Structure 1
Amino acid sequence: MSTSRMISANGIDMFVTEQGSGPLVLLCHGWPELSHSWRHQLPALAAEGFRVVAPDMRGFGRTSAPQDVEAYSIFHLVGDMVALVAALGESKAIIIGHDWGAPVAWHAALFRPDIFKAVGGLSVPPPFRGRERPMEALAKNGITNFYWQYFQTPGVAEKEFERDVDYSMRAIAYGVDTLFLKEGFGFLGDTTIERKLARWLTPEDQAHVVENYTRSGFRGGLNWYRNLDRNWDLTAPWQDAKIEQPSIFIAGAKDAVITGIIGGKRVSEMERVLPNLKRKLIIDGAGHWIQQERPAEVNSALIDFLKEVSN
């Protein structure tokens, strides 16, 4: 059985769920999620001889949510994982991330190869640092309605999502219509449309997530997006750097993150950044929330990878 507790690390209090013993594996969730997103992975990986720890990431759930927008940079997020490894009494770890957790995992491997001996990313390919800031690149290309832009102004997206947390979570999990906002609508689109519960979520899962976000609000997680340009500035020393550790990438074939022009290119060229890529698994018929939608396939791939790299 998994257990949960609070751990102080990197100046914040982190809520973590953990299970098993053996080599340490950190599981980093994305937006708008919680450590609960890894509920299918904790017991499966623990049963294969690993110590698995899934935190509520900075700004999410029961973990601290600093007020300052700048406290959510990629340096803070990776710093949290470095400090968590130490707080757990370990010196090495394998780190796996999904959605926003994937950039945390990729950058953790990039910044601290002495700690993170292997890395995995779900749904979001490894970092290809472009030649200009993300927001500037969007504007230069005449794009004004991408969801990253909508998330930039504090309070706007928070108000939309917090109006009806249950509806917001149903809509996001089920899959919003587009990542480009339609005229007159927010991220969720037309809220008069009924949003069913995604087939891979139980009413209990939904209630858990809604309860947490009703209490915490959405500000913390949205602040990650408000650091996109800042992260570009901070990562200048790693321009064109490679992640040399053993790595794995898993995504759903129907995930909008990898089917677009930019995402598709990054998936096809990821070996440039990951010279030691052990496996690239694209699961047919699956969408973005891959470890919840298709846990058996994800668990099998992760277990094979973990056994290979922990020997």
Structure 2
Amino acid sequence: MGSGELNDAIKHHEVEVNGVRLHYAEQGEGPLVLLLHGFPESWYSWRHQFAPLAEAGYRVVAPDQRGYARSEQPERTDAYTLLHLMGDITALIGALGGGPAVVVGHDWGAPPAWGLAALRPDLVRGVAGLSVPPLPAGPSALSGARETFGEGFYQIYFQEPGRADAELAADVKSSLRRILCGLRPEGEPRPWVVPEGRTLLDTVPEPERLPDWLTDADLDVFAADYARHGEHAFTGGLNWYRNIDRNAELMAPFTGVRIDVPALYVVGERDLVNAMIAPETVEWLLTNLTPRLHRQVRLPETGHWTQQERPAEVTEALLDFLAHLDK
């Protein structure tokens, strides 16, 4: 078992919200802080943040989001739109006693966090995004990604139902190990592209050794939770990508809406997101969409798995932000 599983103070619960059964991990009492994971992760990606945030006086809750790990996996692909994801968090906040909450999202956890902060400021008193900045509602990102990065771009590759699902589910632990280790480049960040005639896992070979922030026991926890869904271990998370175009249509009415709550943005300098969204574009997004931005934190020598690679720095940034909100 990994460190988070051995922390007896972390309690595990299930709750029915927005038509799905969600698992969530919880520690502490006080103002609510929600931690939303990305792909391919789970509640466990926040294992290092539970104790210090709880000790600082907060109620820390990290769900497995819909389709992931211990949570329910709806069958329909179109049950994973951004509106569904924001609906889950809205209902979870209600089930936990109501808002307002501080919502923190990493990777795919960031869009519903930013979106909920924009559309339901009554429920969100502060929002933090890790890796992914706030993105404006508007035209499909997939068409632009296809033109820029080609058909092998991972988000395009994920669109075909069943293909990446089967590759990744064939050996769940190996797939998680390859992705968590392979998407942390040692040099300049680069987009994840699958060359023609290759498979997804060809691009992330088995690592010779694990990085110092990831143990075999950690992988066991991730893999055990994912394996609950059998051959569909990764399908729920992949379905989030399969709604990118649909999200653009559904979010069109909210074009131009700004995030009028205090905000924090944290990104690693080697994060592959930097190869997809130029730093000057991020600056524009933060300036125009988050008028109450508290800080932007750029972590040196840090890849995509922000809160796992740099737990102390991420926790420090979150505690600073929470203290700012409580003033």
Q: TM-score, normalised by structure 2?
A: 0.90
2-side partners of 1:139 and 1:162: how far apart? 26
SS at match of 1:8: strand
- Worse-matched range after superposition: 277-286 or 187-196: 187-196
CA contact (8 A) 1:174 1:195 kept: no
Q: What one-letter code is carried by the residue in structure 1 that aligns with 2:196?
A: E
Counting aligned pairs with the same residue, the percent is 43
CA distance in structure 2 between the aligned counterparts of 1:142 and 1:294, rounded to whole angstroms: 29
Inter-partner Cα distance in structure 1 for 2:277 and 2:203: 27
Q: Which amino acid aligns with 2:179?
A: I
> C-alpha root-mean-square deviation of aligned residues, in Å?
1.6
Relative distance call for 1:114 and 1:173 in structure 2 (3 A) is same
Count of residues in correspondence between the two structures: 309
Is residue 204 of structure 1 aligned with residue 217 of structure 2? yes
Deviates more, 1:93-102 or 1:238-247: 238-247
Paired residue for 2:40? 32
Task: Report the TM-score, using the length of structure 1 for normalisation.
Answer: 0.95
Query: How far, CA to CA, are the matches of 1:32 and 1:172 in structure 2?
Result: 8
- Which one-letter code corresponds to 1:79 in the other structure? G
Q: CA deviation at 1:183?
A: 2.0
8 Å CA contact 1:179–1:187 kept in 2: the answer is no
Decide which of 22, 26, 30 is 2:30's aligned counterpart: 22
- Pairing 1:80-229 to 2, within 5 Å after superposition: 80-130=88-138, 132-140=139-147, 143-176=150-183, 178-189=191-202, 194=207, 196-216=209-229, 217-229=233-245
Alignment of 1:55 onto 2:63: yes
Partner of 2:318: 302
DSSP 3-state at the match of 1:189: helix
In terms of mean alpha carbon deviation, does 235-244 or 285-294 score higher?
235-244
Superposed, 1:217-256 pairs within 5 Å as 217-256=233-272
SS, match of residue 265 in structure 2: strand
Among residues 280, 305, 308, which one is paired with 1:265 in the alignment? 280
Whether the 8 Å contact between 1:173 and 1:198 is mirrored in structure 2 is no
Amino acid at match of 1:156: R
The alignment partner of 1:13 has SS state of strand
Stretches of structure 1 lacking an aligned partner (at least 5 in a row): none
The equivalent of 2:84 in structure 1 is 76
Query: Residue 274 in 1 paired to residue 290 in 2?
Result: yes
Deviations 1:80-117 (A, max 9, x none): 00000110112311100000001110011011111111
